[in-house]
Amino acid sequence: MSIQLAARALARQQPDQYGHYLATLDTKQQGLFDYLASEVLADLPRDLIEFMARAAIAEQFDADLLAETLDEPQAARLIGRIRQMGLPLTPIDEGEAGDNLSVFRFHPLWRRLLLEQLQRLTPAEMREQLQRRFGEGFARRGNLETALGHFAAIADDDAIARALRAHAWPLINTPRRDSIRSWLEQLPAELRDSDPSCCICGGGAWPPRNQRRPLRRSAAPLSCTAVKVSMAASCAR
């Protein structure tokens, strides 16, 4: 289908069908999607584009998270407006009516386009601040790995260490401990080994002796006195 025919097809859609039409395009038709989505964006008010571009920093979100992170008390209303306009926003987990806890995500290609708009409309310092605020918001909600991903996106090792220190302990004896260990290994050795909480957490993230696998040669050892004390205490138990 040529771009001209696709544009005509889009023009024949009702506004509330734009999102469905764009979502049906195969991801291999990226150039076509970009063209059509740009046509849709051109007709949207700037405040709505800015809201969507900032929301797109998170792969998934709910109204409460956006209200808190973006300092936007009208987040629920704006999400409703996006859905009413038929833009490519998909509910993942429907909450109860009026509780602002329904979880949404943008179509992947639409999200990519919004992030490009974010690059164009928002200074780098603000983008970094938003990543950090999303990380803090997800951490408060118990989504630690998602939070760490946002901190890693801006190379904020101190924020990663703080989040692990504050939220990793309940996960040490769960299947998520391997994820905790992986994040600890990614911290600079000097930061990790100078932080007793991270060291002890790293020791606790080790699986039982009979389940341990050899460390990759490239991995920096989790070495500090606190780890040895923690592991000795575990053996004693």
Q: What pLDDT digit, counting tens, does each position of 153-179 carry?
A: 999 999 999 999 888 888 888 888 888
Q: How confident is the model at residue 94 (pLDDT cuts 50, 70, 90)?
A: low
**Cα(171)–Cα(168) distance, integer angstroms:** 5
CB under 8 Å, gap of 24 or more: what pairs does 195-200 form? Answer: 195/161, 195/165, 196/224, 196/226, 197/164, 197/165, 198/161, 198/164, 198/165, 199/224, 199/225, 199/226, 199/227, 199/230, 200/226, 200/227, 200/229, 200/230
Q: Name which of 154, 161, 96 is nearest 125 in CA terms.
A: 154
What mean pLDDT is reported for the chain? 76
- 9 domain residue, yes or no: yes
Give pLDDT, residue 214: 45
Cα separations in angstroms, 3 against 32, 63, 104: 6, 35, 29
- Higher pLDDT pick, 190 / 99: 190
Give pLDDT, residue 81: 93
- 106 domain residue, yes or no: yes
Considering the chain, what percentage of its residues have pLDDT values greater than 70? Answer: 63
Give pLDDT, residue 59: 96
pTM: 0.71
- 205 domain residue, yes or no: no
Taking only the tens place, the pLDDT of each residue in 102-120 is: 899 998 888 988 998 899 8
Give pLDDT, residue 217: 36
Q: How confident is the model at residue 1 (pLDDT cuts 50, 70, 90)?
A: very low
Whether the predicted pLDDT of 32 surpasses 80:
no
- 48 domain residue, yes or no: yes
Instruction: Give the pLDDT mean for 202-228.
Output: 43
State which residues form the domain around 4. Answer: 1-122
Report for 11-15, 45-49, 58-62: range of highest mean pLDDT: 58-62
* Radius of gyration, alpha carbons of the chain: 22
- Higher pLDDT pick, 182 / 30: 182
DSSP per-residue string spanning 23-74: HTS-TT-HHHHHHHHHHHHHTS-HHHHHHHHHHTTSSSB-HHHHHHHTT-TT
> Pairing relation of β-strands 89-93 and 103-106?
antiparallel
- Higher pLDDT pick, 203 / 2: 203
The domain tally of the chain equals 1
AA letter at 204: G
- 3 domain residue, yes or no: yes
Q: How confident is the model at residue 199 (pLDDT cuts 50, 70, 90)?
A: low
Instruction: Give the pLDDT mean for 188-199.
Output: 75
Cα angle 182, 93, 96 (rounded to 5 degrees) comes to 135
Least confident range of 29-33, 84-88, 105-109: 29-33
For residue 154, the 8-state DSSP code is T
- 58 domain residue, yes or no: yes
AA letter at 206: W
Give pLDDT, residue 73: 95
Q: What is the CATH number of the domain that holds 88?
A: 1.10.10
Contact 222, 202 (CB under 8 A): yes
- 104 domain residue, yes or no: yes
- 162 domain residue, yes or no: no
